[in-house]
Amino acid sequence: MKAFIVRALLIIVSILVVIQLWIFSSLVYWRTHDVDTTMFMRWTYFSDFKPIQHEWRDYDDISDNFKHAIVAAEDARFVDHHGFDWDGIENALQKNLKKDKVVAGGSTISQQLSKNLFFYNRRSYLRKGQETIATAMMERMWTKRRILEVYMNSVEFGDHIYGVEAAAQHYFGKSSKSLTREQAAFLAVLLPNPKYYQDHHNDSKLLYRKRMVLKYMRYTRIPD
């Protein structure tokens, strides 16, 4: 029995090491290559085999309006932290404890990108641990500019809609480079629940968050 447990533990550890090596090699490759697909995209596609709307755009080909909007909406301390916003995590924990359920998250853009690239949307301590390691590696290996560039190109904006270029084309029929402040703010506030907000543009919570993003996006800092 003891030998069986030892073998099982060795197998588990070996699997975890292989996963980390895969993540490391992927991060090395993606430092200089476009990210054509993510784990989230693959899960979405294989759920119904409906084509994914996605088109890569380089950092300079995306409107600065959107960069400011996404940072204001998702991670105001993005350029200052090293992958983890401890104040944001503490505030989220306090809100969740007060409500006795998960009502807020403290994930940074870097953490969300790690989850999108390598994992799937199922909560577990194991996945969170792997996500934490992947985030730490990403912050060491990539610049903030690269992290934001890949995030903007891979995040979900609606049913089978991934990346800001596909979102700009879908919602406004225009390139992501020419997004106005209003349009950029709208896309940014879709992210907490994109599939719902895709069909509920007048939702009161969405409109409130859009006003807040428009108010604060001028104060955000983005990578050069």
Residues of the chain with pLDDT under 70: 88-106, 121-124
pLDDT at position 162, please? 98
What long-range pairs does 132-139 form, CB within 8 A, spacing at least 24? Answer: 132/84, 133/20, 133/23, 134/23, 134/27, 135/83, 135/84, 135/108, 135/110, 135/111, 136/83, 137/23, 137/24, 137/27, 138/27, 138/83, 138/110, 138/113, 138/114, 139/82, 139/83, 139/110
Q: Which domains does the chain have, with CATH numbers?
A: 50-219 (1.10.3810.10)
pLDDT digits (tens, 9 = 90+) for 7-22: 878 888 888 888 889 9
pLDDT at position 90, please? 58
pLDDT at position 40, please? 93
